[in-house]
Structures are given as structure tokens and as C-alpha cells.
Structure 1
Amino acid sequence: MLNRIDLSGSWELALDEHKQGQPQMQAFNDAMELPGTTSHARKGKRNEEKLIGSLTDAYKFEGYAWFRKEIDIPAEWASHTARLHLERTRVTTVWLNGEELGSRNSLNAPHVYELTGKLRAGTATLTIRVDNTDYPTKGGHMTSPDTQTNWNGITGAIELQFYGPARLESLRTYPNVGERSVRVTARVEGAEASALRLSAVSFNGETVHSAQTLELKLEGRDIDAEYPLGADARLWSEWTPELYRLKLELLGEDGGVIDVTESVFGLREFRPAGDKFEINGHRTFLRGKHDGLIFPLTGYAPTDVDEWMRILNISKSYGMNHYRFHTACPPEAAFVAADLLGIYMEPELPFWGTVTEPGDENHDQAEQDYLIEEGYAILKAFGNHPSFVMFSLGNELWGSRPKIDSILKGYKQFDSRPLYTQGSNNHQWVPELLEHDDFFCGVRFSRERRFRGSYAMCDAPQGHVQLAPPGTMTDYDEPISPSRLQSADGEDGGAKTIQIQYGTEMKTVEAEGDGGDWISPLPVVSHEIGQYGTFPNFDEIDKYTGPLQAENFKIFRERLEEKGLGHLARAYFENSGKLAMDCYKEELEAALRSRKLAGFQLLDLQDFSGQGTALVGALDAFMDSKGLITPEDWRSFCADAVLLARFPSYNLVGGEEFRAAVELSWYRQEAPGKLGVEWTLDAGGETLGAGTLSAELTQSGDVFEVGSVELVLAPVQTMQRAELSLRIKGTNVYKQYELWIYPSGVQADFGGVQVFETLTDEAEAVLAAGGKVLLMPNPAALENAIEGTYASDFWCYPMFRSISESMERKVPVGTHGLLIRSEHPALRDFPSATHSTYAWWNVVMNSRSIILDGTSSEWEPIVQTIDNFERNHKLGLLFECKTGGGSLIVCAVDAAAAGQSPDGRQFLHSLANYVRSDAFAPTFELGLDELAAMVR
């Protein structure tokens, strides 16, 4: 390219909501800046909607947006080869001086219009119509109101591009790490050229490396040249993302330069190697983040490199080295930033549906052709970026496996550089590998072979983070590579009908085969792991200063206030968030403990603004910290070097032996060599044990055994919080685990306590006499109560409640852990934080929380369960009051079940001691009839 004319700036504007046709001169009665969107420019009618399930676009416009601009064409460029380049937009049609030049409809790649021979020196009128309706496909998160919105406009570069008489087209760079060279292919268009001159210089490393200039004589128009870079050429990876700027000069017969093309490439080889990925021969573990292109300040994805550098650097600070774009492809700037930072990128076709073949009653050949072509457009536009290492055909696809595989085959034949997968979590319950897959991405091989820690209730059985007693022993090696294979559910193969979660709804599909009875020979990546929700942070509302408004947050706040719980909003947010972070810690550590897993794709590091409003991030939708965890602490369980301790339980008994096998997940470029891991176990301000584990690890790219922590715990008289700390000497690689140590021999002794299961006549008589009553109703018999569950709600309650109901399956519990009045004397012998910790696991899992709606805000349960933002129940797991003339405390815990563990016994012991003590003297009074109506 020899020159370009930037067309950004003010354009005349006409909005045509009803798509009536090209406006007359007088209809262009407005103007706006391009690049930009009509919503961001606040053009059109104000949107009066108030969406609950996503953010609300305050200036939502759907229809034709007409843009017109007078442009000046310099005489010296009028005769050159010329093109109009629109970096990112919707469906466009272009007119030059009233002559229609055609239409383009790619959602992912630039729209390019040929202007050669149509330009004249002087002033020209350029008219562009942008249509954001009637797309050839639904568009996934490229057009979703849940993410970047269905915006209208043009973003990124808007320019006229001018070329010499000869130019290079279809330029591709194929790095060859083994030969330290790059293969360059292209085609000469226009006039013939006599030679091609190649030069390359590295530009972002500590030192500069220049390859020798190479001049090739051209014979014909097709170029296929191997360009040696030298033995000391720099390699690109997550650890050393060094890049080269390749300059290609077409030369005429006289040796003069006809045209110049520049391209950036990285010398790298990213490939599957057994159960892992390798980058330049080094094993890596993908620590991935889902991305749906959520940008709440603009409503569209940024196209400037600086903003993507900011975003990706934040993710790197949380240990991420991989991005999976859900049914979306980011703009060029995202790949440029990822190139500079060493992030492994995986764009995805904008499709979330069923792949059909001709003859199927729902087959849409036009849509299928469009989607396939979009894949080729993405490969052509972004394939030279070294960060573009993976490509997926879509999200949770169903349908024809042969057709899906044929699409893969076509892409691989066209461009062999990225690794391909049939899709993310395809055929969810009955997955299979296809011939042209390079890796597998999913959540299970069968009902029992699951390799994720959490699942929606409608996809039960759920995961170990949600159901298993807390410990650090779980990994996914056996589910991924079972020692003895069994067919899924013991059923025969063959077609069968199953109900599945399908987006935000449900669908009945034909599931071919029984699935599960195979082991992947390719790397396995776990799909959309985590999804632990937090309560909204209503302070965030003021951050929405762009076109997207947090009407959903405002509605949630109003609902909470209507229930008389508005004063607890901050406490709900902070304490639900701390639980969610603990859940993420176990989720990610289980993945890192798994030697057979190649990586994970988290959903998500940031909040997801749509699909019911899923506040699942350590960061908010703006990629700002929610104050729940520091990047350093997050990296202690999500990084290329993570210390891991394996022990069966967080709840210990004094006088017994504690053992923890210490491992190191190490995926750095070089082996760690000799190292020392210092460990301490502290409790109550004292060090119970300390030492150093020494190891020499001569390899990288695996989970390595370091040693074992072993000690006999001293007897304790009271429950103590303990902390196991690990650190590699001389580094910032550390880990901390919160443990609890209980006195041995503690029993749930209710001697001297009046305990009743229901408010019997006898119980009422005790109260009437001014006595004290402990009411412990059978949790299973309670009607006005919510089931107890420890882990934070999966994704968000409204969406999965609706899906479960439509599938006629169990509705999720939908709670967010505990809000604990930790200073209350009922917990004197069971010291607690204000949020859920593993000391509460057995208590909570054997409980129900009673609905206390309508009661005074002055009456707060001792232990309150945090409900979701849709129901906003006031929930009491442990609460007390004066009633019937006496003192009553209610605890809906199955004492027999909870008492099977030392933590459960300690809680019951503390409760009994409190009821026996003078401290049990509640002041808030409640009518006995009102109480009986709640505890029914």
C-alpha cells in the first residue's frame, strides 16, 4: 500500500428505522462522528425499556443508518488502484456519487469495496448504509444484547487505501521454528513485478535482531518463498512474545519500488503433543478466559491497540495466558495486543445452534454457507497473527457430525496454521472426537466422566465443588483417562432423544451413540468452568456513564429495598463474593492438579452482563477489581507456577496427624531446578510446625511432587483457625490454605437444653413459663424454607430457574452463602468469619433456611443465608427471639447428620452451650402465631 486517506470525522446522518430507502438530500438532517455507533453517539429515540436480564441500551436503534460524506480525491491518487476499507460494521451497502458499488455482510472481517477506475480528482460523495437487521445468521455474541449489543455504525478504520500498479494480495506468513525461517506466500495483482525484496527486523524484545535482506526474482504472479531469518532468530511465546516486522517491496524492471507491504509475524509453533499443547517444544497449560466482547462504556468492542493492551494486561495480572471468544471474533487490535503480550487467542464462528444437512426440515443452506464463509474471512483477515493459535466452529453445537467435520477439513486445507476444534462443548452429553479435530473442548465424556467442578442443576449431577466434602484431593485424571472404561449410564448405543440446555432455553435433540466410551488422544480443555455468582454491587451503577445503563441493577436494588433488606446490600455483595472466590480457588486448583488436562476456559474472570445478569467475576464488567481478591492471591492458584497441597479435609482434630502432599504445577519455559519450599502451619498466633521441602526438578510442563508436610497436631482446648502457608524460597510463588482445628472428644451434648422438633404444646408451655427452647425442626419437613447448599449460585438463578422449569427438572437452590454475625455469643465456641468458610460446610449441607419475609429489618438472624437478587428472601439458618413468654432459638439443621463430622459437632456444641448460658437472652419479640406460620 502506498497511501491512505483517513475518512474518520463528522458524517451526515439519516436514521431510517422502517427501512424505506435512500433518503433525499433534506433527510440528512443530523451528523455524527465515525468511527462510532448510533447508540454511543446518542442518536435516535430514547429507549424506554428497562431490561432485567441484561444491560439496557439507552439509544437502541435497529434499521438503516445512512452516512454521507464529501471526500477530496487528490489528483495524484485518482488513477491508482483504490479501495474503501471499513474495519468493522454490520451489513453495508455503498454508493459513490450515486452509483451503487455493492454490499458486504461480514460481522467479523473488514468490508472492502473496489473503487479503482471510479474515482476522479476533486470532490466525491460517499454514501454508506448500515443495516443491523435481518442478518444471515443470529450472530452469537457479535450482535447479542447480552454482550456488545446489536449496535449500528462503523467502528475502527474507515479509509481509502491506494496501491501501486502492482500489489500483493493474500499475503500469508508460515513460521518454521525448526528452520528458523518464515514461508511467505502471496499473489501479485495488477501490473507485473520483476522482483520481491524481503527484510525483517524484530522490534519488541530486549535486543533487535535483523534478518538478512533477500531479493527474489519473480516468475509469474504466485509467490511461495522461504525466507531464512538466521540461527539466532527470536521465538514468540507467552514467555518471550518477540515479533518481527516483515517488509515486502515489489520491484519494477528498473529496480524501483512499485508497492510496499508490511506484516508482523512471530516465529512460533503451537501444536498438540499428547495430552498437552506445546509452544516451540515447551509444554504449556492454557489458563483461559471466556470473552463475549462486553464493553459497558461503549456497547461495542474497541478497535485501538492501547485499550486491548490494558484489557489483556489485566487478564495477565490474574495469570491468564489464553482467550476464548464465545461465538465472536475480536477486532484486529485485540490480536495485535495479544501478539505483543503473548496471549493465545481462539476466535469462534458466530454460531450457537444445530448444524444440519440438506433434507433436514430445519436446514438453512444460505445461513450455513454464510457461516462457513465467515470462517474463511476470519482466517484471511487475522491468520498471520502469531497469537491466533486456535479456532472453534461455534458454541455448544448439535447436529450432523459429518457436516461439522467437513467444515473443519475445508478450513485445515485452506490454512493449516491454527489448531481447530469442532466447537466448544459440542453434543454436550454425547461428545465424540472428529477426524479433523486438533483438540477437544467440553465438560464431560459421560454422565459420570466429568471434568469441571460445577454444573447447573438442569445438567445434574453437579460438580465436586458443589457437592463433595471440602478437601484438595480432586483432580480430573480418572474421568479424562479412566482406568476402566464403561459405557455412559450403562445404556446401549443408538439414537435417543434427550433434553439439553440450549442457550438460555431448552431443546430436545437426537443424541447419537452412547458417548463416554473413549479416551481422547488429543489435548482436553475444560469448557466454561466456574460460574460462581456474587450478589450485585450497587455502587457499580454510577459507572455506567455510556449508552448502556444498569437498569437491571437498579431494579434489583429496588426489590431488595422493598423486602426491607436494602441496608444489607453491601454485606451481601462482600460476603457472597468471598465465598465465590473460595469456590474459584478449588475449581482452578483441581484443574491444575490434573496431569491429563491441557487447560481450562474460565467463565469468567469478569462479570457477564447478560443472560439473566451473571455476576460471576472477580472483576466487574469494566475489568475493574471488585475488591474481593488481589491479583497476587488469584495468581497463587492461577499462574504458570502454582504450589498445591493435597489433603483430604480442611477440618482437623487436635492430637491427630496432619499430612499434605505438596506438588508444584510448573509451566514455565525453563525447569525450576533445585528449589526449597518453606512451609508453616500457624494457629492462634503460634507456629504449630514449620520446615523446608527440598527438590530438584529437571523438567517443565507438568505437576511435580515436591514432598510431604507431616506433623501431629497438638491437642487444643478450643476451636482454632489455622493457616498452612507454602512458598518457594526466593520467589513470589506462594499458597495459603485456611484450616480449622477442633478439640477432640467434643460431642453435641444437649443435656439441660429443652430441644423440640416442632412447636408442640409442651414447647409452648416451657416458653409460657419463661423458659428457653431450642427449636430444631427436621429440615426435610419444612415447607417455608430454602434447601441448604454451600457453594455460590451457578451463573444466575433467574436463567437456570427458567431452564429447569421448562425441562421439568429440579430448580436450583440459588443462594450465595452465609452472612454471619460472627460476634454473636451463640458462636463463641465456633469462631467464624462473616462469610461462609469450610468450617460451615457440613452444617449448611444438612440444613434449610427458613423464609422470614415481612419481619422487621431490626431483627437479624444470627446466621443468615444470602438469597439471589430475584427472590430476595430474608433467610434464617440460625435465629432467635422472645416469643410466647420465653426465649426461643431456631436452628433448622439435621443434628444427626451434621454431628458426623468434627466441625458439625463443634457447631452443635457451641449452640448448646449458648442456650444453656445466661447470654441467651433475645430482646426482639415475635408473636408465637407469626413464628409458627414461618416455621411450618
Structure 2
Amino acid sequence: MKKIDLKGVWNFCLDKEKEGIKKQYYNRTLEDIIDLPATVSTAGKGTPSGEENTGHLTDPWLFEGYTWYSREVDFSEAEGKEFFLVLERTRISHVWIDEDYVGSADSLCTSHRYRVTPYGKTCRKITIMIDNTSYPVTGGHMTSPDTQSNWNGITGGIYIEEYGHSYLDKVRIYPNGAGRYIDVRLELEGTKEEDLTIFVSGGDHTYPTVRHTLYRGENRFRYSLEETAQLWSEHTPNLYRLHMELSQAAGAEDRELYSYVYSFGLRDFEAAGNYFEINGMRTFLRGKHDGMIFPLTGHAPADVSSWLKVLETAKQYGINHYRFHTCCPPEAAFTAADMLGIYMEPELPFWGTVTEPGEESHDERGQKYLMEEGFRILDEFGNHPSFVMMSLGNELWGSKSRLNRILGDYKKYDSRHLYTQGSNNFQFMPCILENEDFFCGVRFSKTRLFRGSYAMCDAPQGHIQTMPPDTVYDYDSVIRPPEIEQGDGGENYVTIQFGTGIKTVKMEEEKELIPRVPVVSHEIGQYAMYPDFSEIDRYTGVLKARNLEVFKRNMEKKGMLPMAERFFRASGRFAADCYKLELETALRSKELAGFQILDLQDFTGQGTACIGILNAFMESKGIITPKEWRQFCSERVILAMLPGLVYEGGEQIDLGITLAIFHPQPVVDPQVELCIYKEEKSLVSRKEVSWGEFLNGVYELGRMTVTLPELAQPEKWSIHIRLAGTEIENRYDIWVYPKEVPALSDKKGDSAVIVTGSTEEAKQYFEQGRKVLLYPEHLDDTNSVSGTYCTDFWCYPMFRSISESMGKPLPVGTHGLYIEKDHKVFQYFPTEFYTTPQWYDMVSHSRALILDASPVEPIVWTIDNSTRNHKLGNMFERKAGEGRLFVCTWDLRRQRDSAPARWLEYSIMNYMAGTD
């Protein structure tokens, strides 16, 4: 096969009114020019808009309608040859050769391919019309403004393939890693019979050449490699190339050679019981959601170098798996994943309901399109070793039997991949279908949750949102409970979240679901943080961060802009700690086969979800380093099993050590080193040896009993565990308090601190020049915001709207605390500048006072979301004349069982009694 590259200058015009077919634009000279590949937006065509979207990035050049492209192509040596026009990635396309209509293609995920054989003419005009308005389905994140935008244009390769009178088509390579061979299936088009020469190369080795006689239609043959051939996996991404040469007569005596080269890897990716295996070795999916967010272009790149940069960044953070939300990346993404060892899962571009013919709202055209799109994805990308899994869509509803038939059809057509019915289908009423190879979801019933956080509309919420932080919780008994209560049958209807809206569905009570396939947790995390306004200047390309500009202006109007960077840092650090708790819970769970985090990077739409420890450009926000992140997200993680992260001095901790390992090299006779220290001072140091060899699984290395020293005042300590002689290490901060709080000096008279919950009483004493500690009692929804330990889920505006539509409680919508940690009020209460576990008791039983339009500068802020943007305070002080007022919205008098609450009150009272 040979190529005629068509990149470069084309004649061009916009057709917003979509009249070009009627006016025969294909028979006219187009007035403008454009340099392809490009989109209307990357080329800056049309009239820019001043629109400001707050729910997603803004494309000021957004164009919806028809675009037209034309140029002449030289076919001077066309005799006896076949030619195909290929558009690698576009929208709905229509093609004309001169005035003759060739046809249309509508794939969003694969290339458009047209037979344009000129039959002897040497020069012909090709005209292409692209339509981004008439999709058979909505297109998921292939067309969503939340991610890559509904661009119009042609991206990636634009070329004509030249073949002889016969050519190869639908070449599929089926690797067998254990047997070190490949089975090849292909179709011969054109003549009845041709000779094919094949060989395989890889690394520095070329394998023997063999010859086959091909016959028109489908052909199959096997090619064996040596036993020493290298396997492909996340650890060893070894690649080979299959070379095929088709020799055919070019004239009376000459023969012309057409070469085909396909990359492949020897690998066996399988579902083995409850787990995944790569080449017979258990693996654990440390996955990342991806919606193909590329703000500089507004579309996914089609070059390998761009995808290498993205995927290499993900690997630096321990990611070995990509799930593409209702989208499929271009060829370059799979090629880069092949080279790096990333397990890829494309998904059909659909987020909706699958129905049977005859059912209400049945869309046979749309569903037929989706099924065909799946076959096209398998044909175009199926040879890539990185392509190991495929999903039918995101959060689907409807006919289980039809979903099962589609899975069966795909598996019968192409057995090289594992298939799932979709990601988090049927939500509260999940099922596992007969033809399903693995399950991806968030729960097995309303209360059997295997994710740490949920939106309020999907309550009950997860353990990270509702329980004091610990490092022992796991999902094993949730995924496979020891005892199952059976449902009582019957039907009812329930309103659930559906996309970014709601839907009422029939809920069928069935027996509790016990999975028989690997279970992957869907879209875990979603811990929101405050925006980083310094990123705004990074949006120098197509998409503009006008949402962030609006949020920044609103903060400036509230007089809080100087706090923006501090809010971002504090909420970001807190979110990173929540992710650590989430990911470690997954790694501890022996019954879980993997997770798909949402997300490592910010999501630019659906209300603007700043949920990534990387920004939308896959760049570090400076919140946590890759090395720190890999301590709890990598192929080998050592875990401390702590029943809590807040202790009393002298307390005895029963501490377990667990090793999660999914690596070809075993850990043999690991020596665990444990150190408990404060700053640089070591307080406890232990060494334990666990005899044995550990490979591919989750292992308990043993338990240690550690007695904490007695203390005079609270301190922050750190627990450091590592395997001696390796880089396998982890760290945990704990907060330790003395058992008893010293008695306060009993000052009398005017120097005494008055403690009250009454605002009126506080005002009376304050105006008398007294010192008053106020725990305000009358806080409600009109003057305050409820306290919660966990940061907001996803983003406030999207789930506020969904909760309102469903009549469910609204999300709290806050992002943790910002604390003036060096303030003298914390002399006896050491703290970080962000939320840590010692604050759990206080923030879980509190409200934050709304201080909008007040000059008060809190000592402890609650960070509100950037949409509502209240000024929220938990601790602040005021003075007038001799009066001194200290306000604390946590009533610490009611938390006498909490050591942190007792010591915080002691620290406040000591501060107030002094001269500072």
C-alpha cells in the first residue's frame, strides 16, 4: 500500500445555513482557503464570540453547520489501480469526485474511507463536506463541550491509499503469548489468487520468511515465533512487526510490490476468576478516566509524540490503565500505549438507554449506528496489544437482553478483548450479564458500596465522607458478603441521577448480586478543590477558561481574591489526602480487580470540576509529587493498617502491615522497617522480617504492637514504613494528644473569660469590655453552612441542580478548611494549614458562619466552592475598645469525649487569657 498525502492547503468555506448541497458547492470554486488538518476553531475561521460559559471552557470560534473543502488530485498513473480517500478523524462527511457523489460516512471514532478510483482520468477535484449537527446519537464525550468540544473539521491523517488491482483488507492479528505464535486473518480483494510473503521483526531479531497463497475472501494462517520471543505487558511492552508483501503484475513482464506492516504484541490478557491476568500473572488495574481533554486544540491529537507525553505523565503517577468515557482515542493513542504498556478501554460514544424494537422511545437508527461503531472500533484498533477491554457506554439503562446480545455479537466477532455491558449501568440496580467478562460499577445494592465517595443524590455516601479516617477499611465483605439477605420480590419506581439530569426507572428486587467476574470500581475519587486562577494564562489555544475568569471576578467582588491561592493549596492538599485514603482502600481489598479514578486531571466541564491533582493540561499543580503519589498508587505498595489517625499518649496501637504487589519480580523475605518520628527525631523504631516469597496479590506481612510515649502537650508524628533495600515505602501522619487536659488558671473578675452560646449575652459582656468566647447556638441555613469533613464531590452546581430536581438534600459544597496555622491560638493545638484527621470531630458537628460583606478575617476558614463563593468562618476574633470577642462555631463544650476538641478549647482559652 502506498500513500498520497493530502495535508496542506484546501479551498474552503463555511455553510452555517446548510444550503451547500442545494447550491451545489461541490461544483463551485470555494472562496476561502484552510490548511488541513485543522478544525474551524484551530484555523480561526468565522466570527469569534464573546460568550462566557461557566459550566465548561469556551470555544470563541465554535461553528455548527456544514464546512466545505476541495482540491485537485493528480492520478497520472491510475491504470489498473485502486484508490481510497482516508480522513482519519472527523464528523459526518460527504464526498464528491467532480460532480459525482461518492457517499457519506458518520463514524465519530474511526476513520472515514471512500473508494475514489478515478478510472483513467488523470486529474480530478475532490470535494468534502463535514457536518457536525446531524449525529445519529449525541456522541458522548466525542462531541461534548464539557471535554473536547463539538468541533467541525478534519484532524489527523488526510491521504489517498494506492493499491494494485488486488489488495489486503481487514487484517487481524490474534496473539497467543503462551504459545508464542500469532494467528492472522485477512481478506483478499480484487483477483482470485495472489502470493503473499510474510516475516516478523522485533528488537534486533528478524524471524524467518514464509509464503502463503491467498484466495479471494477470508484467509487464515499461523505464524510461529521462537520460544524466546518476548511478551507484551505493562512491565515489558515488547513490540513486534508483521511484514506482508503482496506481489502482483504491473504490466506484461513487471511485477509491483505492495508492502503492509502491522505492529503487534504477544500477550494474553484474561479474566481469571475474580481477577485480571496478563500472561498468566495477576495484575491490578490502576485506571484513569479520560474524556480526551486538550484545551489548546479542542480536539484529541493524532500524533504519537503528544500521546506519549500524556501517557508517560500518567505512568509517572502509577497509572497502568485508561478508560475512555463515551469516546475512543485516535490511532496515535493506542500506538503510544503499546510503546509504554498501558491497558486501554475505549467506550462506545453513548450515555443513554438501550431499548428493544417496539418499546417507547426506541431509536433503531441510533442503536444500529452504535453497534456498527463498535465493529468499526474493533476493526481499526483491534490489533494493538494495548486494546484489552471495551465498554458499551456510560451509565446505561434499558434492555438487559439487548445489551447481552450486543456483547455476544462483539465477542463472537473479535475474541481478543474483554467486554463489559458499560460503566456503572443500572446504578442502584446493577446486574452482571451472561456475556460480560468484567463488571464496572460502584455498588451491588443501595448499601453495598465499593467506592469511597458519592453525590448526595446517590446517598448513602461513602466511608471517606461519613467515617473518621482510618487505614483498615476495605471492600471485601461488601463485594462478597459472608451472609446475604434475599430480596422479597416486587416492583417499584425510583428516581436516579441520569447523566447530568434525572430519570425515573423501574427497580426490580432480585437476589443480592454476588459477582463471578473481576470487579472494577467506577469513577472513584471526584474530590473537588478550589480553582487555581494562575492557570488562566495557560489557555493560549482554542478553548478559553472564561469560567475561571468569572469565578475569579466573583471572588474579587467578595473581597476574597487575596485568599484564592491559599484556598487552592489548602483544598488541594486535603483532596490529595482523600485520594490517598480512597486508593489505599482499593489496594487493600483482595476482592477488587482494579479502579478507574475520576480523575488524575481536572475535568473542564459539567459545572467545571477541579478534581485533579494535575491540571487540564496534565501538568502538576504542585500539590503532590509523582513520587509521593506512587507511594499509594503503583505496582508495589506497602500499607500500614491503622484503626485511626488520632491517638492518646501511652496508647497501644495494633498496627498491621500489608503488601499489595503486582510485579513480575517477587519480594522475597521482606524486612519491614517502621519508624515513628516527630520532625527529625525518631521516637519508635522497629524491624520485622516476614519470611516467604510474595508475588501478585495482597498479603498481610504481619502485625506490630507499638506503645506511644506519654506526652505533655499535643504533637504531630509520622509513621514511616518501608521494605529494607527497596524503594517500597509509605508514610502516614498521626496526631497524638495527652490523656488529660491541664486545668486552666482560675482568673476572676474582669480578666475572666466569659463562655456563652448566646449572641445577646456575648454582646452584653463584649460591650462591657470583657473577654468573651462565643459558641453561637443559633446557626441555621440562613446564616451558615453545614460542616463536613470531606471535600465536595465533583462540583457543586451540577449536583445541586440534580439534587433539586430529585427532591434530595443538597450537597454541602465546601472544600475543607484553610487554617492560619502559625496563629498563637494554636500554641497547644499543632495543625497544618489544611484539614487533617484531628479536625474530624469538630467539623463533623459544626456550621460555618457566612461572613459575606464583613471585614472579619477568620483564623479558620471553611473554603466554599467557587460558584456559591460565600465567605465562611469557623474561628475569628474582634475587638472594640477593651472588649475582646472570640467566636468558634464548633461548640467544644459538647465534645468532651474528643481529645482534639478538649485540647482546642484549652488552647483557645489560654490564648484569650493572655495578652496576645
TM-score in terms of structure 1 length:
0.94
> 1:624 aligns to what?
619
> 1:222 aligns to what?
218
User: Cα 1:543–1:783, aligned 2, differ >3 Å: closer, same or farther?
Assistant: same
Contact preservation (8 Å) 1:641, 1:733: yes
> 1:868 aligns to what?
865
1:603 aligns with 2:598: yes
> 1:909 aligns to what?
906
Contact preservation (8 Å) 1:748, 1:905: no
Structure 2 Cα separation of the partners of residues 279 and 244 of structure 1: 18
Contact preservation (8 Å) 1:862, 1:879: yes
Matching residue within 719, 727, 737 for 1:724: 719
Give CA-to-partner distance per residue, 1:521-574, whole Å, 9 cap, x none: 100000000001111111101011111111100000011011110111111111
Identity %: 49
Contact preservation (8 Å) 1:748, 1:899: no
> 2:227 aligns to what?
231
Matching residue within 33, 40, 45 for 1:43: 45
Structure 2 Cα separation of the partners of residues 322 and 411 of structure 1: 21
User: Cα 1:654–1:104, aligned 2, differ >3 Å: closer, same or farther?
Assistant: same
Give CA-to-partner distance per residue, 1:411-449, whole Å, 9 cap, x none: 111111110000000000000100000000000001111
> 1:922 aligns to what?
none
Give CA-to-partner distance per residue, 1:62-81, whole Å, 9 cap, x none: 000001112222x2245411
1:403 aligns with 2:402: yes
1:55 aligns with 2:57: yes
> 1:170 aligns to what?
170
Per-residue deviation, 1:143: 0.3
Structure 2 Cα separation of the partners of residues 457 and 312 of structure 1: 33
Structure 2 Cα separation of the partners of residues 748 and 45 of structure 1: 72
Q: Which moved more, 1:220-229 or 1:580-589?
A: 220-229
Matching residue within 463, 487, 499 for 2:495: 499
Per-residue deviation, 1:196: 2.3
Matching residue within 32, 35, 57 for 2:34: 32
Contact preservation (8 Å) 1:779, 1:893: no
| SS of the residue 2:814 aligns to | coil
Give the partner amino acid of 1:61.
F
> 1:923 aligns to what?
none
TM-score in terms of structure 2 length:
0.96
> 2:193 aligns to what?
193
Structure 1 Cα separation of the partners of residues 147 and 778 of structure 2: 40
> 2:112 aligns to what?
111
Q: Which moved more, 1:895-904 or 1:586-595?
A: 895-904
Per-residue deviation, 1:255: 11
Per-residue deviation, 1:514: 4.0
1:696-845 to structure 2, matched below 5 A, reads 696-746=691-741, 753-760=753-760, 762-778=761-777, 783-845=782-844
Structure 2 Cα separation of the partners of residues 268 and 110 of structure 1: 26
Structure 1 Cα separation of the partners of residues 367 and 295 of structure 2: 31
Give the partner amino acid of 2:708.
L
Contact preservation (8 Å) 2:493, 2:505: yes
User: Cα 1:652–1:779, aligned 2, differ >3 Å: closer, same or farther?
Assistant: farther
Per-residue deviation, 1:904: 2.1
Matching residue within 607, 629, 633 for 1:634: 629
1:261-340 to structure 2, matched below 5 A, reads 261-340=260-339
Matching residue within 662, 668, 679 for 2:663: 668
Matching residue within 71, 74, 79 for 2:73: 71
1:652-691 to structure 2, matched below 5 A, reads 652-683=647-678, 685-691=680-686
Contact preservation (8 Å) 2:289, 2:323: yes
Per-residue deviation, 1:180: 1.0
Per-residue deviation, 1:898: 3.3
1:473-484 to structure 2, matched below 5 A, reads 473-484=472-483
Structure 1 Cα separation of the partners of residues 71 and 650 of structure 2: 82
Give CA-to-partner distance per residue, 1:850-905, whole Å, 9 cap, x none: 0010012xx31111111100111111111111258621111111325533222222
Give the partner amino acid of 1:502.
F
Contact preservation (8 Å) 1:14, 1:27: no
| SS of the residue 2:915 aligns to | coil
User: Cα 1:654–1:622, aligned 2, differ >3 Å: closer, same or farther?
Assistant: same
> 2:441 aligns to what?
442
Structure 1 Cα separation of the partners of residues 744 and 254 of structure 2: 98
| SS of the residue 2:67 aligns to | strand
Q: Which moved more, 1:143-152 or 1:21-30?
A: 21-30
> 1:895 aligns to what?
892
| SS of the residue 1:519 aligns to | coil
Structure 1 Cα separation of the partners of residues 896 and 593 of structure 2: 40
Per-residue deviation, 1:684: 5.1
| SS of the residue 1:212 aligns to | coil
Give the partner amino acid of 2:68.
W
Give the partner amino acid of 1:318.
Y
Per-residue deviation, 1:686: 2.1
Give the partner amino acid of 1:463.
G
Per-residue deviation, 1:56: 0.3
Tell me the matched-pair count.
Answer: 905
Per-residue deviation, 1:692: 2.1
Give CA-to-partner distance per residue, 1:218-237, whole Å, 9 cap, x none: 45543111111111111100
Matching residue within 547, 559, 569 for 1:564: 559
Structure 1 Cα separation of the partners of residues 234 and 228 of structure 2: 19
Contact preservation (8 Å) 2:421, 2:436: yes
User: Cα 1:747–1:362, aligned 2, differ >3 Å: closer, same or farther?
Assistant: farther
Contact preservation (8 Å) 1:249, 1:257: no
Per-residue deviation, 1:842: 1.0
> 1:549 aligns to what?
544
User: Cα 1:273–1:310, aligned 2, differ >3 Å: closer, same or farther?
Assistant: same
Per-residue deviation, 1:36: 1.0
| SS of the residue 2:689 aligns to | strand
Structure 2 Cα separation of the partners of residues 906 and 429 of structure 1: 43
Give CA-to-partner distance per residue, 1:391-416, whole Å, 9 cap, x none: 00000000110011111111111111
Contact preservation (8 Å) 2:27, 2:98: no
> 2:572 aligns to what?
577
> 2:749 aligns to what?
none
Contact preservation (8 Å) 2:80, 2:165: no
Q: Which moved more, 1:810-819 or 1:884-893?
A: 884-893
> 1:83 aligns to what?
84
Give the partner amino acid of 1:322.
H
Structure 2 Cα separation of the partners of residues 574 and 716 of structure 1: 31
Per-residue deviation, 1:677: 2.3
Structure 2 Cα separation of the partners of residues 335 and 317 of structure 1: 18
> 1:692 aligns to what?
687
Structure 2 Cα separation of the partners of residues 763 and 834 of structure 1: 29
Contact preservation (8 Å) 2:800, 2:810: yes
Give CA-to-partner distance per residue, 1:227-284, whole Å, 9 cap, x none: 1111111110000010110011234599966532211111100001111100000000
Unaligned runs of 5+ in 1: 920-936
Per-residue deviation, 1:463: 0.7
User: Cα 1:214–1:860, aligned 2, differ >3 Å: closer, same or farther?
Assistant: same
Structure 1 Cα separation of the partners of residues 90 and 108 of structure 2: 7
| SS of the residue 1:910 aligns to | helix
Contact preservation (8 Å) 1:193, 1:251: no
Structure 2 Cα separation of the partners of residues 256 and 181 of structure 1: 31
Contact preservation (8 Å) 2:242, 2:263: yes
Contact preservation (8 Å) 2:753, 2:770: no
Contact preservation (8 Å) 1:165, 1:258: no
Per-residue deviation, 1:779: 6.9
Contact preservation (8 Å) 2:191, 2:216: no
Contact preservation (8 Å) 2:78, 2:119: no
Structure 1 Cα separation of the partners of residues 61 and 159 of structure 2: 27
Structure 1 Cα separation of the partners of residues 79 and 675 of structure 2: 75
1:643 aligns with 2:642: no
